[in-house]
Structure 1
Amino acid sequence: MTRFGIHGTTEVAEVAGDAREAALSRTHRIRHRVLGVAITLVALGYAVRLGELQIVEADEHRRAQLEQSAEWEALPAPRGRIMDRRGRVLAAPDTRYQAFLAVDELRLERSAAVEAVAAVVPVPSDRRRAVTEAEGGWSLVASDISDEERVRMQRTIGHGIYFESRAARDYPRSMGRRLIGAVGASGRGGTGLEAALDEWLAGRAGQAEVRFDGRRNTYRPSGGKVIEPVPGHDVVLTIDAELQRIAENELARALTKTGASGGDMVLLDPRTGEVLALASERADGAPDQISALSDPYEPGSTAKPFLLASLLSEGVVDLDEVVDVEGGELRIGSRVIRDVHGYDTLRVREIISKSSNVGAAKLSARLPSAVQHRYLRDFGFGMRTQVGYLAESAGRLSRPESWTSLSPASHAIGYEMSATSLQLAAAYGAIANGGILLKPSLVREVRDASGRVVERFEPQAVRRVIPEHVAAQVRDVLEEVVRDGTGTLARMARFAVAGKTGTARLAVDGRYALGRYRASFVGFAPADDPRIVILTRLEDPKGGVYYGGAIAAPTSQAALEAALAADGVQLDPRLVVSDPRPRPWSDPSRAAEGAERAIFAASGAGGPEEPWGGDLETDGLVPLPDLTGLSVRAAAAQLHGLGLRVAWQGRGVVASQSPPPGSELARGETVVLK
């Protein structure tokens, strides 16, 4: 019995154990199935989400990626050129390049391509690394590449190298740099006309799409968007490059010779107001400072012609009237006015030609202060010329209400007032052109990149200052100054020069310094048909010679002589071309008559300085040579050698002449060449 019980218990236990194992096995299977289902569901969820990311939301994420890795790179616009009046380039864009390697297109190994570039220009290590690690697209490899270097790289590498132009600046001529200025590091105008004309020259920048790789290096993607830049406009100045060179050279020579601390030379066309040359040098001035515009000074005796013009316009003097000049010394209140030469009497015209301070002071008493002030104001003193583009000073001309009893005499001899060199040249231009004050100009026209004129600047008359007949009288007196007066060192053999010298005391810290002066000469030529105004100012010359007639007048003469000898400068009396553009104050029908005509005037000052010598009225007739086939200059030279005038109506070489060859003409008559 007992055994049976034991076996029964064992069997029961075994059955119970099998049941537990079966239950446990079912539990494991259930868990495995649940886990498998869960994993499957998770995987399915990931798959669904991945599908959403790859398909449904792909565009949105692509845009986000581009926003994070894409930028626009500025493409600078080619800067416009600055040219002189005859189209000679003074400042021009100098194209430089950046080189990019399209790594997917290279036929060379990347390292070999980089070394090929490095053999031409230096390649920084970071750019080498960017090329070798790039996953695609373009990689910048070199900058500031010249055109010659670009060609060498292209030949060596071939496919896979691309170049992008970059605007730089080139100044092919050494002259006019102070006036033209420079471009700053940003590519915009920094100083001078480069800054003043920047709105026209700069153009409009473009854009190029670039990408960032994983290392934040930029590259150009294939098919990336590019907005091309718009080139800047070309600006044509009134400046003549050759005259500017001459002005700068002669001014520098005068400063060296006289030891002056600075000075100006201005050349201006009195018929249009166009500035032909503007040279300034100051030992203590900023490198980009143009003292002819910014530094006003007391003009001294060069202001006397404006007193004469005022007196003649008011009808209170006659040129041949005799004036007691007190032996060269006149006391007005506490002040004594002295002349260099002690004359007893002088005619009114001689007061100017001999530069009598006493005579000018006495004549100024004939004008009310308000009238004297009004004429000076009308000639442009005390106000900016509005030449534009560059900073300029207005000078100083106080209101007549503030004048003292000494002021009329002071203004008559060029003190108690100040003017810039450009103001003074423009005022003489009014005397030269018949009494009209013109607005000086530095820009003739603006052209777009295709050469089309988009803006042209015509001469602008400011006002009539004096009657035409008065201007003619003053011109005659100024011609006497150069022929027989204080400006004889400005005389020229081939034509008459008119002008006035000035020697003014130099003020330092508000007081006139002992033994320090300013020498100047202002004039125009030819005297009977002025084509050019010239002003020379020398500041504080050393060595004991400081009179305007001794140093400024010969400097002006040397500049005119150099201009006559220069190629392409139409100032030679044998080759002076009329400006065909009508003047705003002239009769348009009369202006049109000379539109295609050039006049060559060889009217000298008379006497032994004429190129042919002798007296025109008594030398008889001269036979006219055959001039056909000669150049205009050669033909004009022959005719002027005979004492004849020339009118040119045509182009190129001489095809015909009137009168015909063999005709006998009196010296001074005109020959028409066609």
Structure 2
Amino acid sequence: MTRFGIHSTTQIEGVAGDAEEAAIARTHRIRHRTLGIAFTLVALAYAGRLGELQILESEAHRARQVAQSAEWELLPAVRGRILDRRGRVLAAPDTRYQVFLAVNELRVDRTEAIETVASVVPVAPERRSAIAEASGGWSLVASDVSDEERVRLQRTIGQGIYFESRSAREYPRSMGRRLIGAVGSDGQGGTGLEADLDVWLVGQPGRAEVRLDGHRNAYRPPGRQVIEAVPGHDVVLTLDAELQRIAENELARALAKTGAMDGDIVLLDPRTGEILALASERTDGAVDRISGLSDPYEPGSTLKPFLLASLLSEGVVDLDEVVDVEGGTLRVGARVISDVHGYDTLSVRRVISKSSNVGAAKLSTRLTPAVQHRYLRDFGFGIRTQLGYLAESPGRLSRPESWTPLSPASHAIGYEISATSLQLALAYGAIANGGVLMRPRLVREIRDPSGRVVQRFDPTPVRRVISAEVAAAVRGVLEEVVREGTGTLAGMARFAVAGKTGTARLAVDGSYAPGRYRASFVGFAPADDPRIVILTRLEDPKGGVYYGGAIAAPTSQATLKAALAADGVQVDPRLVVSNARPRPWSGEGAAGAPEGTVIFASSGTGAASAANAAHGADASRRGLVALPDLAGLSARAAVARLHALGLRVEWRGQGRVAGQTPAPGSELGRGATVVLR
């Protein structure tokens, strides 16, 4: 019994142990299975998320990564050119460079590298010191380096020198710089036409993709995106570069000779209002102001033709009517009006040609202030010319209600009114072209980068001011002024010039300064078919000679003579044997000889040269001129000399004159053609 019982107990305990082990094993299996399932689920979740990131959201994350590491570098647009009316470059794009030395990358001694750069371009002392003390990185050495200089430095130094390009501007000529202006350091127009035409010239910048590494260093990835820059448009001006050069030279010469403190010379086409040249010189050094546009002044006697035009239009005078000019002195209220020369009587036409202040003041009483004001206003005084570019003044013309009893006489002789040189030249243009005031033009057309014209600016009449008949009558009187009046020094025989001189007292701090004057001449040529208006103003000349007829008129004559001898400039097509071909723009200050055969216009001044007087006095008496020896002269000098003899010129050479036909000493009739080689 006992033995059986012990055995049974042992069996029971064994069964219980197996059951416990089985339970533990089952528990482990459940745990393992659960963990496996959990890990599987987690792995599937990670795989799903990874797939979502790499497949479904890949573009979004790629874009985010690019946004964090990508940047864009600006690609500046090439700025458009500014051209004259014949396509000659006045302003053009240029690429300049800043030079950097990476001192740790140099294979030569840094002192040697600095000296190498200094042998090509100037290096400031402070930059030398900064580079000598630099422990690493890039150091700026020089700025404003040309492409040719860049190549030389790269070839000489090699590793360790870097260049950063920037857009710059090149001005092949110094002419017209006040008008053209300049570009700022940011590549945008800063002054003058560069600023006013910036919307056309600037172009559209491009951009190129760069990437940043973990240290924020930029690099250019392969296949990067590049949006190319669009170049700016070219602007074609109405200016003629040769006439602008002539005007600036003659103005500089006149200022130096007379001691005047500043002045203007304006040349324009009265038929179209196109400004052919505008030279303004100021002694205060201001380059951002153009006195011919921004500085109004009292015109003096150059305003008298507009009084005559008003009187004729109203039908209250006859040109041959005689006016009592009181011996040259007239008292108007508390004021005394006087003439330089005392005359007892003058015809109306001679009141203008002899520039009688007394006669003009007396004639002004035939117009009411309202009528006198209306004509001055219609001629463009007191109103901006609507040039559209650059800063210009409207001048001053008071309303007639505010005039005093002295105002009509003052306005008749060019006081109590102010005008800019451009306003005055345009008003004379209205007389020259038959009575129509034209809006001035400085821009002819806009061309896109391919050369296609995208906008053209046509001549724009403002209003008809006087009839063609009245304009013709006034032109005849102004021709008489130059032929036998106060403007004889502006005249050229065989080439009729019309115009009017002016000598006005100079106001300083609100009162007229004793002994200080403004000399001027405004006219046009040829008188019977005007193609060019010329205005010359000289402010405060020194030396005791200050009359407009004495200093402004001869400056105008010299300008017209130079214009007649200029290559390709047709002041009077009737005097041109055949049209000159445009010649390439050279790098010389004075126009040299063009290629091929060119025919120059003749000014026909009839003023014989000294050589002609010595060798051909008898020929001159017979209406002939003796041909001088022109060998060795420049094309311009030879042409000007022959024009002075009333001869036409055909140029077939290069450089200076090597030969001529007919031979020196030959007797020729005025208007004959001389061939130069």
User: TM above 0.5, one fold?
Assistant: yes
In the alignment, the residues of structure 1 paired with residue 624 and residue 251 of structure 2 have an alpha-carbon distance, to the nearest angstrom, of 43
SS at match of 2:323: strand
In the alignment, the residues of structure 1 paired with residue 444 and residue 230 of structure 2 have an alpha-carbon distance, to the nearest angstrom, of 23
1:263-274 alignment to 2 at 5 Å?
A: 263-274=263-274
1:117-516 alignment to 2 at 5 Å?
A: 146-148=146-148, 166-284=166-284, 286-516=286-516
Which consecutive residues of structure 2, in runs of 5 or more, have no partner in the other structure? 1-29, 122-126, 580-598, 626-635, 654-667
**Deviation by residue 1:29-70 (Cα, 9 ceiling, x = unmatched):** x99999999999999998987777667755443322211111
User: Counterpart of 1:595?
Assistant: none
**Deviation by residue 1:352-398 (Cα, 9 ceiling, x = unmatched):** 11111001001111112221111111111111111111111111111
SS at match of 1:190: strand
TM-score between both structures, scaled by the size of structure 2: 0.74
Q: In the alignment, is the contact (CA less than 8 A) between 1:114 and 1:128 conserved in 2?
A: no
Moved more, 393-402 or 144-153: 144-153
Moved more, 397-406 or 282-291: 282-291
Which consecutive residues of structure 1, in runs of 5 or more, have no partner in the other structure? 1-29, 101-109, 131-139, 580-597, 623-632, 654-665
Deviation at 1:555, TM superposition (A): 1.5
Deviation at 1:280, TM superposition (A): 1.1
User: Counterpart of 1:5?
Assistant: none
1:514-663 alignment to 2 at 5 Å?
A: 514-571=514-571
Q: Which amino acid aligns with 1:244?
A: Q
Q: In the alignment, is the contact (CA less than 8 A) between 1:82 and 1:92 conserved in 2?
A: yes
In the alignment, the residues of structure 1 paired with residue 315 and residue 602 of structure 2 have an alpha-carbon distance, to the nearest angstrom, of 33
In the alignment, the residues of structure 2 paired with residue 285 and residue 642 of structure 1 have an alpha-carbon distance, to the nearest angstrom, of 40
In the alignment, the residues of structure 1 paired with residue 312 and residue 361 of structure 2 have an alpha-carbon distance, to the nearest angstrom, of 16
In the alignment, the residues of structure 2 paired with residue 301 and residue 115 of structure 1 have an alpha-carbon distance, to the nearest angstrom, of 73
**Deviation by residue 1:465-504 (Cα, 9 ceiling, x = unmatched):** 1122222221121122222221122122451221111111
Deviation at 1:619, TM superposition (A): 6.9
Deviation at 1:576, TM superposition (A): 5.4
Deviation at 1:128, TM superposition (A): 8.1
Shift in alpha-carbon separation, 1:40–1:89, aligned structure 2, 3 A: same
SS at match of 1:469: helix
Q: Which amino acid aligns with 2:362?
A: K
In the alignment, the residues of structure 1 paired with residue 136 and residue 462 of structure 2 have an alpha-carbon distance, to the nearest angstrom, of 64
**Deviation by residue 1:278-303 (Cα, 9 ceiling, x = unmatched):** 11122236321001111111100000
Deviation at 1:456, TM superposition (A): 1.2
In the alignment, the residues of structure 2 paired with residue 269 and residue 478 of structure 1 have an alpha-carbon distance, to the nearest angstrom, of 18
Shift in alpha-carbon separation, 1:604–1:476, aligned structure 2, 3 A: farther
In the alignment, the residues of structure 2 paired with residue 289 and residue 641 of structure 1 have an alpha-carbon distance, to the nearest angstrom, of 37
TM-score between both structures, scaled by the size of structure 1: 0.75
Shift in alpha-carbon separation, 1:348–1:87, aligned structure 2, 3 A: same
Q: Which amino acid aligns with 1:209?
A: E
SS at match of 2:182: coil
Q: Which amino acid aligns with 1:461?
A: P
Q: Which amino acid aligns with 1:185?
A: S
SS at match of 2:183: coil
Q: In the alignment, is the contact (CA less than 8 A) between 1:573 and 1:602 conserved in 2?
A: no
In the alignment, the residues of structure 2 paired with residue 441 and residue 317 of structure 1 have an alpha-carbon distance, to the nearest angstrom, of 35
Shift in alpha-carbon separation, 1:551–1:157, aligned structure 2, 3 A: closer
User: Counterpart of 1:82?
Assistant: 82
In the alignment, the residues of structure 1 paired with residue 422 and residue 649 of structure 2 have an alpha-carbon distance, to the nearest angstrom, of 32
User: Counterpart of 1:23?
Assistant: none
Taking only aligned residues, the RMSD between alpha carbons, in angstroms, comes to 5.1
SS at match of 2:536: strand
SS at match of 1:280: strand
Shift in alpha-carbon separation, 1:248–1:44, aligned structure 2, 3 A: same
Deviation at 1:427, TM superposition (A): 0.6
Deviation at 1:537, TM superposition (A): 0.9
Q: In the alignment, is the contact (CA less than 8 A) between 1:573 and 1:600 conserved in 2?
A: yes
SS at match of 2:466: coil
Q: Which amino acid aligns with 1:465?
A: V
Q: In the alignment, is the contact (CA less than 8 A) between 1:494 and 1:573 conserved in 2?
A: no
Q: In the alignment, is the contact (CA less than 8 A) between 2:361 and 2:413 conserved in 1?
A: yes
In the alignment, the residues of structure 1 paired with residue 198 and residue 82 of structure 2 have an alpha-carbon distance, to the nearest angstrom, of 11
Deviation at 1:543, TM superposition (A): 2.2
In the alignment, the residues of structure 2 paired with residue 289 and residue 390 of structure 1 have an alpha-carbon distance, to the nearest angstrom, of 9
Deviation at 1:95, TM superposition (A): 3.1
**Deviation by residue 1:66-120 (Cα, 9 ceiling, x = unmatched):** 11111222211111100001111000011347999xxxxxxxxx95899999988
